[in-house]
Amino acid sequence: MEILKPEQYAEAEAFVAAHPNGSFMQSPAWAKVKPNWKHEIVAVRDENGALRGTMSILIMPMGPGALMYAPRGPVCDYDDKALIAELLEGAAAVAKQYHAHILKMDPYLYEGDEKHIELFCSLGCDFTPDASFKDTIQPRYNYMLPYIKGLTEEELLAKFARETRYYIRYAPKQGVVCRHGMECLDDFYKVYSETGERQGFSIRPRSYLQGFLDAFPEAARLYMCYSPDGEPICGGLSVNYAGRTAHVYGCSSDDHSLRRLRATYMLQWEMMKWALSTGCHVYDMQGVAITPEDSEALYNVLGFKQNFTGEIVTTVGEFRIVYNAAVNAALETALKVRSKLRHH
């Protein structure tokens, strides 16, 4: 086990990007998007010096301790118990260095995978089955098209309902244009801010989105659809990484005359075509809520996402290792009190 130095991050990048369990949030570049967090990468090599597993850890100081979070980590063979144990040993060394009280991680494991849940728990991880919506950092429910690898555009279109195919073709016939590039950022941010205010979700600052695109110059794209008059209608920020295209941020105008152009269908189709052209195996429309009580905004978009004939994929949630129980209990209590105050 070793803790990588920044000059070794390119090696980690190549490993994560090529791994079937890789995620853009385990890329070293993701830490650049989170400048308020500290960052370390734990790695394990084989006898020839090649990487076998990595865990990119974000570290946030909190009071007398620190929260460590490995989003979608670790990246490794989840059947290799000894390898995972070695990565967790490295995480413990990082925790000691930063006085961390807890590590949270949410690897790509899916609901019902008792074999791997048991494996992680046998290595000292705490786990809450069927964790509620507000108890995990990443949404457990995601809407995905997990069958796209090897399909042509025509074959993918054929999987959609007739109405969906009609709307995908309708927008360009009305003169709607879809572009992608950094030059769309100002228009995206304007519509994104309006969408957040309308739907009640927190809005990332423009600098955050700029930093996201800068961190992933090849893997991230900002798409924007425009009316025939040049009015911005809707947009999406997607990341094409490790065989998966994920639609991370989206927005749409509330102007009814623009909404009638059905450009959101065209937008999704353009991003799906990018996924197809690069051989991705999954198009991930990201988080949804299955009840309005969990998140009205994410519940409201579920109906739209279901027009694309995918499926709700449920991850198991988070595994946790508590290094300092007293500090962790005190901070959890403080966070619950603060959450209650915000809702009153």
Q: What is the pLDDT of residues 207-247, one digit of tens each?
A: 999 999 999 999 999 999 999 999 999 999 999 999 999 99
Positive or negative, the Cα torsion across 257, 261, 264, 267?
negative
Residues 322, 33, 271: CA angle, nearest 5 degrees: 110
Residue 336: pLDDT band (50, 70, 90) is low
Which residue, among 296, 305, 301, has the nearest Cα to 268 in the 3D structure? 305
- Residue 43 CA to residue 2 CA, distance in Å, equals 5
Please tell me the predicted confidence (pLDDT) of residue 201.
Answer: 80
Question: Which helix (H) or strand (E) element contains residue 7?
Answer: none
- Residue 131 CA to residue 109 CA, distance in Å, equals 14
Core vs surface per residue 22-32: b (16+ CB within 10 A) or e: bbbbbbbbbbe
Structure tokens at 6: 């920044």
- Residue 79 CA to residue 221 CA, distance in Å, equals 34
Average pLDDT over residues 146-171: 96
CB burial of residue 339 (10 Å; 0-12, 13-18, 19+): exposed
Cα separation values, 222 from 189, 218, 225, Å? 11, 11, 10
For residue 54, the SS3 value is strand
DSSP-assigned letter for residue 151 = -
Cα separation values, 252 from 179, 195, 223, 226, Å? 15, 6, 12, 11
* Chain centroid offset of residue 177 CA: 27
Reply yes or no on whether the pLDDT at 87 is more than 50: yes
Is 289:295 a contact under the CB 8 Å cutoff? yes
Residue 343: pLDDT band (50, 70, 90) is very low
- Give pLDDT tens digits for 258-270: 989 999 999 999 9
Reply yes or no on whether the pLDDT at 128 is more than 90: yes
Reply yes or no on whether the pLDDT at 344 is more than 60: no
Q: For strand 102-105 and strand 232-241, is the pairing parallel, antiparallel, or unpaired?
A: unpaired
Whole-model pTM above 0.85? Answer: yes
Residue 342: pLDDT band (50, 70, 90) is very low
Which range (192-206, 238-252, 276-290) has the least confidence? 192-206
- Give pLDDT tens digits for 16-66: 999 999 999 999 999 999 999 999 999 999 999 999 999 999 999 988 889
Q: For strand 126-127 and strand 319-322, is the pairing parallel, antiparallel, or unpaired?
A: antiparallel
Please tell me the predicted confidence (pLDDT) of residue 341.
Answer: 43
Residue 298: pLDDT band (50, 70, 90) is confident
Average pLDDT over residues 94-110: 96
Query: Whole-number mean pLDDT of the chain?
Result: 94
The maximal CA–CA distance of the chain, rounded, in angstroms, is 63
Q: For strand 220-226 and strand 177-180, is the pairing parallel, antiparallel, or unpaired?
A: antiparallel
